[in-house]
A and B are shown apart, each in its own frame.
Chain A
Amino acid sequence: MAARGAGGSERSAWLQRLTAGLTSRLTRRGGVCLMVGAVIFANAVVVNSRDLLFVASMLIVAPLIAVGYVSVRPARVEVTRTFRPPILSAGGESVVSLHLRNLSARPLSGARWGDTPSPGITTPPAAILPLVSRRGAPGDSVRLEYALSPRQRGVYAVGPLGVSRHDPFGFAHGLRLFGEPHDLIVTPRVMFLPGGGLAQTSNDGSIRELLRQAIQTSDELIAREYRPGDALRRVNWPATARHGEIMVRQEEQRSNPEARIVLDTTLAGAAGLGPGRVPPHLVAAFELEVELAASVGVHLIDAGYRLEVIELGASQLVPGGEQTLGGLHGDVPASYRALGGDRALLEGLASVVPVPWPSRSARLAASRRVPVRAALRGAESSLPTFALLVSLSEADVDDLVALARHCDPAITFVQRTVVAVARERLQEAGWRCLEVASIDDLETVWNDVNRERGPVHD
């Protein structure tokens, strides 16, 4: 994300440098006038007619003066840009609000404004800028708004604002860019999972029991005094007897609950096409994977989990110079906690793209240096793990098989693009493979996770 932002500003600076040189251009009218004027001028010189000469001179001079007018007095404005909301999920709508203030001592009239889009989003075509008074006068600022609704997640640089000024006669126009591009973060769509998720331990019933089993760090029961509203069956009779007042049991089992998501970012099963390039048939699959990760991750974080995300490729969520080997080979996984973690996760996922997988030699060296086992920090504990897989190579399968013993439960959401051989090996290793074909399947699959895990435990 940061890298993209830097790239964006660099590009805009370059663009600004370029456009500062040739801001003014003739319109079609100006160009035609100039050409016709030149032709008439030649004729007039041949015929030596003063009238014709005057007409030709006017046709020639007018566009040139207009260009001069537009270039000599370019607009000077100050632009503040805000997005409402600043972060939106794909398919949502964000209002881009630009506050434009005239800094020049002359009113700004006859201008048009249009935002500079970046690839992937479309901004509306240039629109009329109403008359902006000179600085200090009432009406020296104007608020410009338009709505963007990006279809795809990503981080989009929006801006800078282009203000093109026309001369009063429509011969020439000059474009100036104002302000810096701002990043609009478009997160993947988040599917709200049913309430009975992994973490809903405050509820009663079997799931709570289950979760307590699932989470190894749960503390012993602590009794506390009864408060109105507590369920009667939660009364801890022994403690009540001990204290002489009604006590209820209270779980603080999730003092440090954790979960793990494995994100397939290399798509290594498919022939690599280079950095960031995804074979066409995997594009949808990858997007689905990111949406699944967002939905599951947000759900878990909301439930209070500390979530760590392991990427199979070089880490994009926690970028760094040494984070190039993949999460299973020593990269520090990104971790998110409640209170803001969900947002950080979504922002991170917004810009995740498929990465080239490390070369074979690098991988071999890495696995020799840092075996999967050693790479896993929580080797002694088993975390609930959700592996979201799109396309696996043999090596990936090996790694996941090794990982399986550190996972409880070990669940993979596989897509159709995962080959059967890989599925079988994963299943043998103890992974539950749940096939997800679209984001709509997630809810049923998630219910399956919950339902089926209950009986497993019981």
Chain B
Amino acid sequence: MTSLATKPVALRGVTPAQPRPRARRGGRGAARWPLALTQLVLVLVCCAALGPLLRGTAWWWVCAVVASAVLLGSSVFRRLGLPRAVVPLANTVVLLGALTLLFGGGSGLFWLIPTPQTVGTFSGLIAAGGESVAQQSTPAAVTVGILFLLAGGTGLIAILMDLLAVTLRLPAVGAAVALVPLLIPGFIIEDGADLAALVAAAAAFLLLLRVDVYVGRVREARHAPAGPHAPRAFRSDRPRGPGPMSGSIVVASLTIVGALILSTVAPAFTVGGLVASRSGGLLFGSGVSPMINLGQDLRRPKAGPAFHYTSTGTEQPYFTLLTLDEVIGLNWTARIDAADVQNTVDRIPRPFGLDANVETAPASTTVVIDGVTSRWLPAPARATSIDGLSGRWYWDSRTRAITSRSSNTVGQEYTVSALELKPTALQLRSSSTNFPASVQGNLQLPVDSPPIIEETARRVSADTTSNYDAAVAMQKYLRSSVFAYDTDAPVEDGYDGGGVDVIGQFLEAKRGYCVHFAATMAAMARTLGIPSRVSLGYLPGVKSQDLEQGLGRYNVDSHDLHAWPELYFVGIGWVKFEPTPGRGIVPNYEQAEVTGTPSTEPGAPGSTNAPGLSPDRLADDSALERGASAQTGDAGNRLGIVGFSALGLLLLLVPGAARRMLRRWRVRHIRSKNAGASLAWLEVQHTSLDLGVPVRVTETPRAFAVRLERLGPLDPASAAALERVLLAVERSRFDRSSGQAETLVDDLALVVRGLHVGASVGIRLRALFAPRSLFTVLGAVLRGERRAAPIAP
């Protein structure tokens, strides 16, 4: 029995000596690793291009994990010899497994296999992700839903790319799939993707093509037709490898530089665009919610001119673009009816519900559009006629927003006649609550709106008797020092937008910008039974100080984008309020009357009608700069840097640790008599390989030992130990008796230490952190030569 038992062991010991047949190497899966890895690089680089849209970097790692699982998995499948047609399916299975593991929340069978519950979870995540994409502005906080969409999308891209590039062998076409994440930023934010990301993606694309060409040549060389008629090439000495790199580098760098030049020169002749000067397209025209868009414009570091105007009015008007008068779901939305072609803008009737006893004054405003591109026309409220417009424009019979289906505001110059509304506080206070049916809709709030809205509204307006006083109280509360104007905080904390759910968070955080203040006041008014709506548009802007431009001219830029609430008062109509601290002009009807009240808002001398010239405005502008982030953000960054450095250091240590573990594993094996002197000798060989002594396959152990001693003089103890190990390995190879030296492990340790001591510091460091033997073994494993590896590293 013993002899039977020992035989396989002996065989196992011998088989590694004979390298496996070459056929295995040239097999189906050979030389696929480079292609898979370059695809992975391309996918990840393109994913990284999404950076400007999203906060943080953790999402990228999740994408990386999913993409690696898919692409490396497909390589493994090919290596295992799975049929070509099945690999994409297997990839899909891997993707599902990875997603279940990461997002299933433990609902999957063994955390990996999706169950019906997982499907439910996933669809929930998709919906949540879609919703948060729609609600958030850029850079968006990465919620779990968004993360799921990102990971799933990356996985799909990886599968598709693998299918095209490897299965169908069209890598150039496959790379096109990676354009999706690369080009998304360009359609959402004006700056588009980072230029560095574009260049990196280009480099990765070219790398993929280069590797494909190389792999194709290798494959062709391997499957070269045999036979006497087949062409052959003979050469005395054969330089290996893909050949000189210079050609690739020259072509690639010229390509990238050429593309850079071409793409940066080209805008010079497309300024003003064939369609639009904004890369994002129409203002409020893209699918993102208007409020998000507004915040985005406000956060833009540099303001662009929107339009300028001159006005004959006594006060500078707010310019309304559109009015959000309905809460659908949780979002304020503009109900846009089909344009009524009879509602031409040359004659717009007097506003509905405006009694004759309310004082009005006609004002004429001449507007010249500079940079706004929108289908909505910026116009003062209560316009009665508009002249000079090109294209067909109509007014909306409910909100009186002026809009066009076919044309936009680019290059328009027009004159708006409007009514200035000058109600007295008395009129406002005495207006009844018999709201007409047409504004009943403006009282509705979603049933599940956060209770804090109503609580706050009730608390603030506790002492008031009329709707008007309640409105003023709410305005005062929101403008009080409790609240801070901050365009970045909502985005960072993930409550951007004007949704009703966001209002709850805003009321707690008390940081936000006009959208939040306007939406909050409108929602609070509705809880008190005052019809309300939110208008989006522009602040009156800044009076031009330039004599050339004319002193009567006001300039409005993109930072003057604003949102404000309007409340309905019977007999007067829609009356605007200004709850945003430090922005705009507080309407003066109450100021004129309520003289006794303390000078309203601290630091906001809204009563001076100087439009937007409050000192806070400058402060706001500086706060808008992206660089001025809050202290907390700084701390977070520092933490992140430290974390990443630590991670990097850990990564650096990985090879060394792996090598050490390998050595300990070998020692353990020797000690437990599972393996003998050959493993010890392998360790000696690998150690010397780490130390830069090449190991030749053809050398006998003795020749190697002699060379080793000649290269670096060993101390006597180590030399003796080396001799003993050598004897042991020779005995195990050539002697039938299976006696094993007891001191083998100690001898091995001695030899290893001696070799290390003999080497210089630099070499020792390299051996420690970048052990060559490990990479050699790893390479052998990846190339499928694992069995040959133990003898021929």
A residues contacting B by CB (< 8 A) are 29, 32-33, 36, 44-58, 60-62, 65-66, 69, 93, 106-107, 109-110, 113-114, 124, 127-133, 138-139, 141-149, 166-171
Q: Measuring CB to CB, which residues of chain B are less than 8 angstroms from any residue of chain A? A: 172-173, 176, 179, 182-183, 185-187, 192-193, 195, 198, 202, 205-206, 209-210, 212-213, 216-217, 220-221, 224-225, 228-239, 241-244, 246-248, 250-252, 254-256, 258-260, 262-264, 266-267, 270, 273-277, 279
**With A52-B183, A139-B236, A169-B213 as given contacts, are A149 and B229 in contact (CB-CB < 8 Å)?**
yes
Contact status A54-B263, CB under 8 Å: yes
Q: Identify B244's interface contact among A109, A139, A141, CB under 8 A.
A: A109
A225 CA / B781 CA spacing, docked (Å): 84
Count of A-B residue pairs with CB < 8 Å: 177
Contacts A46-B275, A57-B258; A107 near B244 (Cβ below 8 A): yes
Q: Name the B residues within 8 Å of A52 (CB-CB).
A: 183, 186
The 5 nearest A-B residue pairs measured at CB: A109-B243, A51-B186, A57-B262, A58-B259, A61-B258
A66–B251 touching, CB < 8 Å: yes
CB of B540, distance to nearest CB on chain A (Å)? 31
Per the bound structure, the CA–CA distance linking A52 and B186 in Å amounts to 8
Is B259 within 8 A of A169, CB to CB? no
CB distance from B43 to the nearest CB of A (A): 16
Cβ contacts A to B, 18 pairs, < 8 Å: A51-B198, A52-B186, A53-B266, A57-B262, A58-B202, A61-B255, A109-B243, A110-B247, A114-B231, A124-B231, A127-B224, A129-B233, A139-B235, A144-B233, A168-B247, A169-B252, A170-B216, A171-B209
CB-defined contacts of A29 to chain B, threshold 8 Å: 172, 209
Given A49-B186, A57-B266, A169-B206: A124 touches B239 (CB 8 Å cut-off): no
Contacts of A114 in B (CB 8 A): 231
- For A33, the chain B residues whose CB sits under 8 A away are 172
Instruction: Please report the C-alpha to C-alpha distance between residue A148 and residue B230 in the assembled complex, in whole angstroms.
Output: 9
> Chain B contacts of A113 at CB under 8 A?
231
Chain A residues lying within 8 Å of B225, measured Cβ to Cβ, are 124
Residues of B within 8 A of A110 (CB): 213, 217, 243, 247
| With contact pairs A62-B206, A65-B254, A93-B228 given, residues A167 and B247 touching in the complex (Cβ less than 8 Å) | yes
Does B235 contact A141, Cβ atoms closer than 8 Å? Answer: yes
Contact B213 A51 (CB under 8 A): no
Asked whether, in the complex, the Cβ of B276 is within 8 Å of the Cβ of A48, the reply is yes
A214-B186 Cα distance, complex, nearest whole Å: 101
B172 touches A45 (CB 8 A): no
CA distance A142 to B186 in the complex (A): 51
Q: How far is the CB of A148 from chain B (nearest CB, A)?
A: 8
CA distance A170 to B274 in the complex (A): 35
Q: Which of A54, A138, A143 contacts B259 (CB 8 A)?
A: A54
Q: Which of B193, B243, B267, B270 meets A131, CB within 8 Å?
A: B243
Residue of A at shortest CB range from B207? A169
Q: Looking at the complex, which one of A65, A66, A124, A166 makes contact with B229 (CB distance below 8 Å)?
A: A124
Residue of A nearest to B199 (CB): A54
Name the residue in B225, B243, B275 with the highest tally of chain A Cβ atoms < 10 Å from its Cβ: B243
**Using Cβ atoms and an 8 Å threshold, which residues of chain B touch A47?**
275, 279
* In the bound complex, CA of A57 to CA of B230 (Å): 42
Given A29-B172, A169-B209: A49 in contact with B248 (beta carbons within 8 A): no
Contacts of A146 in B (CB 8 A): 229-232
- B contacts with A: majority SS: helix
Inter-subunit contact A48/B274 (CB<8 Å): yes
B209 touches A170 (CB 8 A): yes
**Sample of 8 further A-B pairs with CB below 8 A, known A110-B217, A128-B217:** A48-B277, A55-B179, A61-B259, A61-B262, A62-B206, A124-B230, A146-B229, A167-B247
Give CA–CA (A47, B275) in the complex, Å: 7
Report the Cα distance A324→B591, complex, angstroms: 125
Chain A's nearest CB lies how many Å from the CB of B181? Answer: 11
Contact, CB under 8 Å: B259 / A109: no
Bound CA span A141–B209, Å: 28
Please state if A168 and B251 are interface contacts (CB–CB under 8 Å): yes
> Which residues on A sit within 8 Å (CB–CB) of B241?
131
Assess whether A50 is in contact with B263, with CB atoms less than 8 Å apart.
yes
Q: How far is the CA of A294 from the CA of B254 in the complex (A)?
A: 63
What residues on B are CB-neighbors of A170 within 8 Å?
A: 209, 212-213, 216
- A51 touches which one: B185, B235, B248 (CB < 8 A)? B185
Instruction: Report chain A residues within 8 Å CB of B247.
Output: 69, 109-110, 167-168
Picked from A48, A60, A127, A166, the residue with its CB within 8 Å of the CB of B279 is A48
Report yes or no: A142 in contact with B248, Cβ–Cβ below 8 A: no
Of the candidates B206, B230, B251, B279, the one having the most CB atoms from chain A within 10 angstroms of its own CB is B251
Q: Chain A nearest CB: distance from B210 CB in Å?
A: 5
How far apart are the CA atoms of A184 and B152 in the complex, in Å? 63
> Which residues on the A side are within 8 Å of B262 (C-beta)?
53, 57, 60-61
Instruction: Check A45/B266 contact, CB under 8 A, given A54-B198, A124-B230, A130-B238.
Output: yes
> Given B212, B234, B277, which contacts A145 in the complex, CB threshold below 8 Å?
B234
Residues in chain B near residue A58, CB distance under 8 A: 202, 205, 255-256, 258-259
Are B251 and A65 neighbours in the complex by a CB distance under 8 Å? yes
Query: Are B229 and A168 in touch, CB under 8 angstroms?
Result: no
Are the CB atoms of A169 and B267 closer together than 8 Å?
A: no
Q: List B contacts of A129 (CB < 8 A).
A: 233
Is the CB–CB distance between A138 and B263 below 8 Å?
no
Query: Min CB distance, B73 to chain A, in Å?
Result: 27
Q: How far apart are the CA atoms of A128 and B212 in the complex, in Å?
A: 15
Q: How far is the CA of A132 from the CA of B235 in the complex (A)?
A: 9
Closest to A37 in B: B259
- Chain B residues with Cβ under 8 A from A45's Cβ? 266, 270, 274
Q: How far does the Cβ of B519 sit from chain A's closest Cβ, in whole Å?
A: 32
- CA gap between A157 and B117 in the complex, in Å: 75
Chain B residues closer than 8 Å to A133, beta-carbon distance: 239
Complex: how many Å from CA A148 to CA B216?
27
Q: How far is the CA of A139 from the CA of B234 in the complex (A)?
A: 10
- In angstroms, Cα B738 to Cα A350, docked, is 74
Residue of A nearest to B278 (CB): A48
Contacts of B230 in A (CB 8 A): 124, 127, 146
A167 touches B263 (CB 8 A): no
Query: Chain A's nearest CB lies how many Å from the CB of B705?
Result: 32
Out of B173, B210, B234, B259, name the residue touching A168 (CB < 8 Å): B210
Task: Provide the residues of chain A in CB contact with B229, threshold 8 Å.
Answer: 124, 146-149
In the bound assembly, the distance between CA atoms of A69 and B659 in angstroms comes to 44
Closest B residue to A50 using CB positions: B192
Q: Residues of A contacting B210 with CB < 8 Å? A: 168-169
In the complex, A138 Cα to B246 Cα: how many Å?
19
**Interchain CB contact under 8 A, B233 and A143:** yes
For the complex, give the distance between the alpha carbons of A69 and B244 in Å.
14
Q: Complex Cα distance A148/B106, Å?
A: 67
A114 CA to B232 CA in the complex, in Å?
11
Contact residues in A for B250 (Cβ distance below 8 Å): 69
Provide the residues of chain B in CB contact with A141, threshold 8 Å: 235
Establish whether residues A143 and B274, one from each chain, have CB atoms under 8 Å apart when the complex forms. no
CA A377 to CA B244, docked complex, whole Å: 70
Residues in A with CB closer than 8 Å to B259 are 54, 57-58, 60-62
> In the complex, are the beta carbons of B275 and A57 less than 8 A apart?
no
Q: Which residue of B lies closest to A96 (CB)?
A: B231
Contact at B232–A144, with CB atoms within 8 Å? yes
Give, as a whole number of angstroms, the nearest-CB distance from A138 to chain B: 5
**In the complex, what's the smallest C-beta–C-beta distance from A43 to chain B, in angstroms?**
11
Closest chain A residue, CB of each to CB of B277: A48
Given A139-B238, A146-B231: A50 and B260 interface contact (C-beta under 8 Å): no
Residues of B within 8 A of A139 (CB): 235-239
Q: Which residues of A contact B267 (CB under 8 A)?
A: 48, 50, 53
Chain B residues near A46 (CB, 8 Å)? 274-275
Q: B258 contacts A32, CB within 8 Å?
A: no
Query: CB-nearest residue of chain B relative to A93?
Result: B228
Partner of A142, one of B192, B213, B233: B233
Closest residue of B by beta carbon distance from A61: B258
Chain A nearest CB: distance from B532 CB in Å?
Answer: 38
B237 CB to nearest chain A CB (Å): 5
Chain A residue with Cβ nearest B269: A45
Chain A residues positioned under 8 Å from B173 (CB to CB): 32
